[in-house]
Amino acid sequence: MLKLIFFNTFFGMALLGHASICFAGTDVSHRLERFIAKTDTVASSGKPTREKAAIIDAAYSASFAADPSAIPDEELDAHFEATQYLMFYTLDKARLPLFEQIVERLNLAGKATPEHHKKLMQAYFALREFNKANAFAERHGRDIPQYRPIVAQVRSGPLVKRTAWIFQGQGGLTRRELNLDKGRHLVMIASPYCHFARAALTAIEDNPTLAPLLASRITVMAMNDFSFDYAHYAAWNQAHPSLPFTLTHDRDEWPEVSHWVSPVFLFFRDGRLESQFSGWPKEGNMDKIVAGFHITFPDDMLTRQADQASQASPAPR
């Protein structure tokens, strides 16, 4: 009888434990679904980028705030998925240690996949943590094939207001001061994967009026995102030496940008923002580029350029 009671008690506890695990898995799955749905809604809301990031961060804290060391193994994947969404949309460097710890937990549990490692590497690149990316790739090289270490150097002081990462070739990147203090300057923030940005770059590069300004007055900067590919940038820069891509270092260096979309055009005069616009429609926005530089020439030239742009859209390069 005692054995029967013990067996029934043990079996009941086992069932209860199994039910608790199933409930926990269901609960975290539902939380993840709700968080992703919330994130997608906010991301497409048209709100300023910083406001969207704050809302997404608050939603994450409400559903997934936890000590990484205390997350049950069966919930690690869900926490990873939520955290990579958080990092993608907020680019919050303060959250990076959390992301790293969750990936490390997945490694220790034997559950890490090449995709987990790829997402962390993308976060490193987006946050310009190149040395961390190198160190992580060295430890997990089998999951990150054909990775070439990036030689990152800093050539700017701590009090510099704006900086850019300059491609040096052979895996080199150097962070330097971007000085906009004298004269007029156009900073174009874009993604090399964006068709509209590539069309704008081609139009600017092919415009004879702007040709004298390319080297000294126009800077093209790739925004912080999860699509960094050194080889892609290097190939573009080799093909377009007069209008090469550089990298933004941190969004906080550009408080004038309320919506981080591609492309954004910022016109500075003696270090101060004078005007800005975003987007590049099929017919182009060359009139806004010309106006931003305060270039004047006969109206028929603008008309001719607009007609040419509408007749033949430049092929992406």
The helix (H) or strand (E) run that includes residue 185 is: strand 184-190
- Is 175 a member of any domain? yes
Write out the residue range of the structural domain in which residue 124 sits.
14-143
- Residue 113 and residue 171 in one domain: no
Our count of domains for the chain comes to 2
Domain boundary among 86, 109, 143: 143
Report pLDDT digits (tens) over 54-108. 999 999 999 998 899 999 999 999 999 999 999 999 999 999 999 999 999 999 9
Domain boundary among 143, 177, 203: 143
- Residue 160 and residue 254 in one domain: yes
Average pLDDT of span 123-129? 98
Average pLDDT of span 289-294? 93
- Residue 195 and residue 116 in one domain: no
The DSSP bridge pattern shows strands 264-269 and 272-278 to be antiparallel
- Residue 19 and residue 135 in one domain: yes
- Is 9 a member of any domain? no
- Residue 217 and residue 266 in one domain: yes
Confidence at 142, pLDDT banded by 50, 70, 90: confident
Domain boundary among 143, 172, 201: 143
- Residue 161 and residue 276 in one domain: yes
Closest by CA to 103, choosing from 37, 126, 95, 31, is 95
Burial-class residue 86 by CB neighbours within 10 Å (0-12, 13-18, 19+). buried
DSSP 3-state percent helix, strand, coil across the chain (nearest 5): 55, 15, 30
- Residue 110 and residue 132 in one domain: yes
- Is 5 a member of any domain? no
Structure tokens at 232: 């892609």
How is the beta sheet containing 151-155 ordered, strand by strand?
Answer: 151-155, 172-177, 163-169, 245-248, 218-222, 184-190, 264-269, 272-278
- Is 81 a member of any domain? yes
Report pLDDT digits (tens) over 243-255. 999 999 999 999 9
- Is 4 a member of any domain? no
Structure tokens at 289: 């580029």
- Residue 226 and residue 306 in one domain: yes
* Residue where the block lists tokens 């209860």: 16
- Is 317 a member of any domain? no
What phi and psi, each to the nearest 5 degrees, are found at residue 146? 60, 25
- Residue 138 and residue 160 in one domain: no
- Is 297 a member of any domain? yes
Please state, rounded to an integer, the average pLDDT across all residues of the chain: 87
Report pLDDT digits (tens) over 266-287. 999 999 999 999 999 999 999 9
The helix (H) or strand (E) run that includes residue 152 is: strand 151-155
- Residue 170 and residue 303 in one domain: yes
Q: Which residues contact 161 (CB under 8 A, 6 or more apart)?
A: 253
155 vs 37: CA distance, rounded Å: 42
CATH number of the domain that residue 237 is part of: 3.40.30.10
169 vs 143: CA distance, rounded Å: 25
Report pLDDT digits (tens) over 187-208. 999 999 999 999 999 999 999 9
Q: Is residue 10 over pLDDT 60?
A: no
243 vs 184: CA distance, rounded Å: 17
- Residue 174 and residue 306 in one domain: yes
Closest by CA to 236, choosing from 226, 225, 247, is 247
Report pLDDT digits (tens) over 201-245. 999 999 998 988 888 899 999 999 999 999 999 999 999 999 999
Vertex 84: Cα angle to 60 and 264 (nearest 5):
95
pLDDT of amino acid 298: 46
Q: Is residue 15 over pLDDT 60?
A: no
- Residue 184 and residue 230 in one domain: yes
- Is 148 a member of any domain? no
